[in-house]
Amino acid sequence: MAHDTPEKIRSHAEHEFLKKKRSAEMRQQLTSFAIMIFLTLIAFTMVAAGFSTYLIVPIILLLAAIQVVLQLYHFMHLSNKGHGTIAFFMFSGMFVAFITVLALVTIVWW
């Protein structure tokens, strides 16, 4: 198999720079995690507090969507370089998913 990557040994300065870059990225991911926990808490609290269904449903669906975007873009690195094709796969999948849910939910409307 093709494992023919040319080996490149980084200079000390470049190595230190990359390490710093990675720990900065890790801090950013910790922030996303804190936001996800916070959004989950809001969703559960709203339901436990017993607000009107018509208020809760759109808000918790929106919170779920935000959480998923954070997972995809920060934890799964969808925003990184070289992720264009796979982002296209994922968005096509989500589009089909949306149509499927819409169709089966409306078919039992009456």
Partner 1 sequence: MDINKRYTAQSWPDHPETATLEGKNKFVGFWLLLAAETVTFASLFATYLALKDKGPSGMEFTAAGLFELPLVFAMTMILLTSSLTSVYAMYHMKNHNFKAMQAWLGITVLLGLTFLGLEIYEFNHYVHLGFGFTHSAFSSAFYVLVGTHGAHVLFGLSWFIALMIRNSKRGLNMYNAPKFYLAALYWHFIDVVWVFIFTVVYLMGVIG
What residues line the site for partner 1 (CB under 8 A)?
Answer: 1-5, 7-10, 12, 15, 18-19, 22-23, 25-26, 29-30, 33, 36-37, 40, 43-44, 47-48, 53, 56-57, 60-61, 63-64, 67-68, 71-72, 75-76, 82, 85-86, 89-90, 92-94, 96-98, 100-101, 103-105, 107-108
Closer CB to partner 1, 68 or 79, in the complex = 68
Instruction: Let me know: does 8 contact 29? Beta carbons within 8 Å.
Output: no
Distance in Å, CB of 106 to partner 1, minimum: 9
Closer CB to partner 1, 47 or 79, in the complex = 47
Q: What are the structure tokens assigned to 33, written together?
A: 């995690």
Separation of alpha carbons 30 and 38, rounded Å: 12
Separation of alpha carbons 70 and 41, rounded Å: 16
Distance in Å, CB of 79 to partner 1, minimum: 14
Distance in Å, CB of 103 to partner 1, minimum: 7
- Beta carbons within 10 angstroms of residue 106's beta carbon: 9
Q: What are the structure tokens assigned to 3, written together?
A: 């494992």
Separation of alpha carbons 102 and 110, rounded Å: 14
